[in-house]
Structure 1
Amino acid sequence: MTLDPRNIIDWPGGDNSSDTVISGLHFNITTLEHWNYTLFSNGTLSNGTKCYLTFEPFAPALIFPNGTFINATKCWHPVHPIGARAGTGLGFAVAFGLSLVLTLVALNKHGKLHLPSEKRFHPIGRRWQWYWAIFTCATALISLFTNIDVDRYYLPEIPIVLTSFFWYLMQIGAVACTWEAVRHWGSWMERQFIDPDPFRLREEGRRYWVEFFLPLVAYLFMWLNFFIVVPRSWGRIEHQRYPEQTLTDAKPTATDNRFKSAPFFLFATWVLIVFSLWHSIRHYCPRNRGIINRTIGLIKFTPTRFMLIIPLCFIVPLFQAMVAWNFDWSPLNVKGNPAAIYPGGYAPALLIIIIQGIYGLLSPNEDRELIRQRRERGQTLDAELGIQRKPAWWRRVHDTANPNETMRDKIMRNVREIGGGSATTRNVKEAINTRAAESTTSPRSSPTSPTEDMEMVSIPSPQHVVGVTGPIAPGDFASARQTAGRYVGVMTPGAASRQAELMMDGPPPSPPSPTLMRQPPPPYTDRPAVVGERPPVVGEQGRNHSTASSASPSINSPPVQVRSMLDV
């Protein structure tokens, strides 16, 4: 506590020169002066470190020789009732609390993802406006609740500093919330613009780089406002314990050059907000020609909430500049005018949060809105192509499968739906019998060559039947073979035995000859085989050492014509 000689008063008289009476109680002056206590005109007793109230019912009862008071009340104690400033602050605190709940609901609604995350549009981009709204509500609540003790404390101390500190943070949060709302609206317009054609707007050019650097510059200005206002000594703001101290310490500190220059950075951010809105309308909305038409188009395509929150955002730096020149309207003033502090200092931020919360409740989730737009585009294309889509419930009604159904059952069910069954199987049987009969009565068959024609009879197999939609039993092919054999047996004598021979898998195996088992394998020959040459006989030498000349089959015989790789 700063000691001002102009507020020091003499000790009241007592029973003797070393006795004084304070609030009807006797104290030893020698002990008080030994511990450097001084009596002030505002009813406090202080030595620069400790301060006690001297009026009833807070006056101390006794002081010990070691300087300890009994039943004393410190000067920084809430002894006053709630005043106009604290009462109004409670009402605003309730409003900000409800706005915080509204903001959390909006964040939960708009922060959910219903589509895969895209690299170009990060999910956090849509949430930043709600994060800043939560930050604004939180700082406003702290400022307003600590504002209660500004009225109740007998001498101002830490509550006035906390109130002022978080009030400036609330101002930055309100401007940042407005900036993120406008910036994300432009990003949302871009997303709707390129969703039908992802290559319509490339990530390059003047438009892209403006949108890239604009947030960096905006946050730079907001950071400069924070850097100029917050990191400083706030102790002199507490020096408002009597009028002279307020004029000499608190007022010059609250209206210095740093507080006066800080609002201009918030105003620069507000200008960038307006520029960002104009930039988004220019690139993502229909263009107009002429200054008048462009102005009309700017107003026409601006969302309603921006027409409300952008002017409210302008009040934030404006009021911050006003309190830097007029200390009577400043929240830093303990005796400040509540009629100016709350409408200009807290109401704009509160209205911005409320408008944002109402918008969050009324507007749909962006992913769901994008899905709806895609569905509408699909329906339009289907109508142009003449495609009739079945409703979603159709598949749920008709595609309800048994959980115990096997793959064979599913295939059979699909076959029955297509039209298979006994009728289809009967047609396949008739086709097999007809084909077998036609093969036996073909003009190529003659009594002179029965075996040759019989070998050419084609008996279809399950792999060669094309278009069969129903199950075919193996007995169908056996019956077809029997039918073909009967036809051949009637028309060609001796064909029955030939057919039985063809139906066999192969000749019965015969035991190997003992003579062949005793003979060694043929010798190895390193001479390449010649086409048409006799293979070596068992027992002959593999190499011919004869010098007799003979006609080579490869010279005298006609050249071999290779028709395919199978002939080689």
Structure 2
Amino acid sequence: MADGGWLYSDGGRQRFNATTLKQYDYVIYPNNTISNYSSCVLAFGGYIPTVIGNGSWYNSTGCDTPVRPIRTRGIVGIVAAIIFGVLLVLSLVALNKHGKSFLPAEKRFRLVGRRWPWYWCIITASVGMISGFTAVDVDRVWVLGTAAIFHFIFYLVTLPACLSAIWEMTRNWASFEERKGVDEDFARYRQDDLRSKIEFYEPLLFYLFNFLSFFLSILRAWNPIARSNVNVITDGRFQASSIFSLLAWITTVVAHLIARHYYKTRKAPWKITISLLIILIRIAFNIGSSFNYSISQLRYQATPAYIYCLGYLPVILAISVILYSGWKEPNEDQELLRLRNIRIATLDQEMSTMPDRKSTGKHGTERKSHANQSRRTNRPPTHDYWGDNRENLV
């Protein structure tokens, strides 16, 4: 509202020099904020800023300063952050358990390959915890700013990080199946056949799709997104990012089916099947929200139930499945030693039940022992060295 040389906000309760505001491109918006896109201040109620001749403000409160009470999004965000914190600790415990080596290092099966699932679990839990804590200020600020940007960025990172954890778990399962076969028969799996070539290109394809999903959704300008710009939140980059996440998921499924074909496993591991089905919920939600603004998780007015039930919860459950399997399953080296001991015990048992060839004849009949035969007691005659015809000298 303008009156001569003054501009008003807060229903006319506050007034500002119109010449100074226009000189520095300040605009009074209907939500009672004054901004020129480089700085933004509140101008209502008890927030009474003063503009001076050089365009700066004093006694001002920034638009991204938390001024409202905590709401549902923030409360549930704290709960989610605590859960992710617990998952972070459990991931470290799992890394300590499965990252140890009890056998000599093998060039074909590197120790770091077994650790990658837990590395990605740690990353997922860390970014989820940060996103949960930053959600506290999303509903408390008058205009979305830094807090909302950090909240949305780390929330989006949880999907590619969780997909990577599931992928590495699937790849490591296949690698261990190969390792068990090689340990039993070194020549069982060649390193120059079609199977090895497929396993070489699978990670490249997965991480290509996963990186493209990360790049398109995260590495971009975030100020328009913080303002809930509908044209940006549902643009082609977010739509393509969600599709690439689905392609990364499909790559994981196909890699798992190929591994089952080559390693002749009787049934699919429950941890892979369940985690893939759970994370598919988050992928579907991402696809839907990138095309439909009304359910977008990046919208300021979005219902917290959407982002927590369809966004955070699938990630929490998928990581929980991976960690539970890590708690139930033994260290790979220890399991390999156990299988070796079983094979050795079986071989010893088979050897002990085989008939003794020394104690059987040509047709399997038992030979008579020389101990049961009568021994000759008569000694051969000795030579008479003395000429007196002595015999049987002792």
* TM-score of the two chains, using structure 1 as the length reference: 0.58
Match of 1:142 in 2: 130
**Does residue 188 of the first structure (1) align with residue 176 of the second (2)?**
yes
CA contact (8 A) 2:2 2:8 kept: no
Query: Shift of residue 444 of structure 1?
Result: 9.7
| Aligned with residue 208 of structure 2, among 211, 220, 230 | 220
The offset of 1:35, in angstroms, is 5.3
Q: Spell out the pairing of 1:85-100 with structure 2 (5 A cutoff).
A: 85-100=73-88
Pairwise CA distance, 1:40: 3.0
Q: CA deviation digits over 1:524-550, x for unaligned, max 9? A: xxxxxxxxxxxxxxxxxxxxxxxxxxx
Offset at 1:113? Answer: 0.4
Q: 2:99 aligns with which of 88, 95, 111?
A: 111
Give the match for residue 356 of structure 2. none
Q: How many Å separate the matches in 2 of 1:22 and 1:307?
A: 58
CA distance in structure 2 between the partners assigned to 1:305 and 1:175 by the alignment: 14
Relative to structure 1, the CA distance from residue 352 to residue 386 in structure 2 (aligned partners, 3 Å threshold; closer, same or farther) is same
Matched length: 357
Q: What is the alpha-carbon distance in structure 2 between the residues aligned to residue 274 and residue 20 of structure 1?
A: 61
For 1:177, which of 159, 165, 169 is the aligned residue? 165
Aligned residue number for residue 460 of structure 1 = none
1:161 and 1:332 in contact (8 A); partners too: no
Q: Report what 1:373 is aligned to.
A: 339
Matches within 5 A, 1:392-541: none
- The structural deviation recorded for 1:65 is 4.7
Q: Give the CA deviation at 1:63.
A: 4.9
Cα distance, 1:31–1:259 mapped onto 2, change above 3 Å = closer
Aligned mate of 1:345, from 286, 290, 311: 311
SS in 2 for 1:386: helix
Once residues 7 and 197 of structure 2 are traced to their aligned partners in structure 1, the CA distance between those partners, rounded to angstroms, is: 78
Choose from 326, 350, 360 the match for 1:384: 350
- Is 1:272 matched with 2:251? yes
Contact 1:305 1:355 in 2 (8 A): yes
Contact 2:64–2:146 (8 Å) recurs in 1 = no
- Pick closer, same or farther for the CA change 1:33–1:190 going to 2, 3 Å: closer
Gap change, CA 1:187 and 1:444, over 3 Å in 2: farther
Q: Which amino acid aligns with 1:270?
A: W
- Gaps spanning 5+ residues in structure 2: where? 354-382, 387-394
SS of the residue 2:34 aligns to: strand
Partner amino acid for 1:54? Answer: A
Residue identity opposite 2:63 in structure 1: C
Give the corresponding residue for 2:368: none
Contact 2:128 2:158 in 1 (8 A): yes
Whole-angstrom CA distance in 2 between matches of 1:213 and 1:40: 54
Partner of residue 57, structure 1: 46
Shift of the 238–204 alpha-carbon distance from structure 1 to 2, 3 Å rule, reads: same
Amino-acid identity (%): 35
Q: Give the letter aligned to residue 148 of structure 1.
A: V
Q: Is 1:75 the counterpart of 2:41 in the alignment?
A: no
- TM-superposed CA distance for 1:99, in Å, is 0.5
C-alpha distance after superposition, 1:228-277 (max 9, x if no partner): 2233222311334xxxxxxxxx1111111121122222212222222222
For 1:33 and 1:227, how far apart are their aligned partners in 2? 39
Opposite residue 53 of structure 1, the aligned amino acid is L
- For the residue of structure 2 that corresponds to 1:175, the secondary structure is helix
Equivalent residue for 1:363?
329
TM superposition shift of 1:39: 3.2
What residue identity is the alignment partner of 2:330?
P
Deviation string, structure 1 residues 142-198 (Cα, Å, up to 9, x no partner): 222222221111111122222222222211011111111111101111111221211
- The separation in 2 between residues aligned to 1:231 and 1:252, in whole angstroms, is 17
Q: Name the aligned partner's letter for residue 239 of structure 2.
A: K
Query: Cα deviations across residues 189-240 of structure 1 (Å, max 9, x unaligned)?
Result: 1111221211122212222211222111111211222232233222311334
Unaligned runs of 5+ in 1: 1-8, 12-16, 241-249, 287-296, 388-441, 446-568
Equivalent residues of 1:327, 1:333 under 8 A apart: yes
Consecutive aligned runs of 4 or more in structure 1 exceeding 6 Å deviation: 19-23, 442-445
Match of 2:111 among 115, 123, 127: 123
Partner of 2:273: 307
Q: Secondary structure at the match of 1:151?
A: coil
Q: Which residue of 2 aligns with 1:285?
A: 264
Asked if the contact 1:18/1:29 (under 8 Å) is kept, the reply is yes
Tell me how far apart the structure 2 counterparts of residues 72 and 117 of structure 1 sit (CA, whole Å).
63
Please provide the CA RMSD for this pair.
2.7
Structure 1 residue 335 corresponds to structure 2 residue 324: no
- 1:322-371 residue CA offsets vs partner (Å, 9 max, x unmatched): 11012232221111111111111111111111111111112111101111
Q: Which amino acid aligns with 1:10?
A: A
Contact 1:225–1:265 (CA<8 Å) still a contact in 2? yes
Letter in 2 for 1:143: S
Q: What is the distance in 1 between the residues matched to 2:25 and 2:318?
A: 53
Alpha-carbon distance change, 32 to 337 in structure 1, aligned in 2, over 3 angstroms: same
Mapped to 1, the partners of 2:333 and 2:221 lie a distance apart of: 48
Structure of higher RCO (CA pairs closer than 8 Å, 6+ residues apart)? 2
Partner Cα distance (2:29, 2:261) in 1: 67
